[in-house]
Amino acid sequence: MDWHFYREERAALFIDGANLYATARSLGFDIDYKRLLDLFVQETRLVRAFYYTALLEDQEYSPIRPLIDWLDYNGYTMVTKPTKSFHDSDTGRKKVKGNMDIELAIDMLEISSYLDHVVLFSGDGDFRRLIEAVQRKAVRTTVISTIRTQPPMIADELRRTADTFIDLDNLRGEIERVHTNASEGRRPRPRTDEGEPPQDDR
State how far the Cα of 81 lies from the Cα of 97, in Å rounded to an integer. 11
Residue 14 domain-assigned (yes or no): yes
To the nearest 10°, the Cα dihedral for 179, 181, 186, 192? 0
CATH number assigned to the domain comprising residue 32: 3.40.50.1010
Whole-number Cα distances in Å, 142 to 3, 55, 127, 163:
10, 27, 12, 6
Number of domains in the chain: 1
CA distances from 38 to 32, 46, 174, 177 (A): 10, 10, 10, 13
- Domain extent, residue 172, equals 10-194
**Residue 202 within a domain:** no
Write down the pLDDT at residue 182: 47
115: burial class by Cβ within 10 Å (0-12, 13-18, 19+)? buried
In a domain, 135, yes or no: yes
How many residues are given for the chain?
A: 202
The reply to whether 199 falls in a domain is no
pLDDT tens for 79-136 read: 998 876 655 566 666 555 568 999 999 999 999 999 999 999 999 999 999 999 999 9
Residue, of 64 and 75, whose pLDDT is higher = 75
Say which residue, 143 or 183, is predicted with more confidence. 143
Determine, yes or no, domain membership for 201: no
Q: What pLDDT was estimated at residue 64?
A: 82
Within a domain: residue 95? yes
The pairing of beta strand 45-55 with beta strand 77-82: parallel
% of residues, the chain, pLDDT over 90:
70
Q: Does 36 fall in a domain?
A: yes
Does a structural domain hold residue 171?
Answer: yes
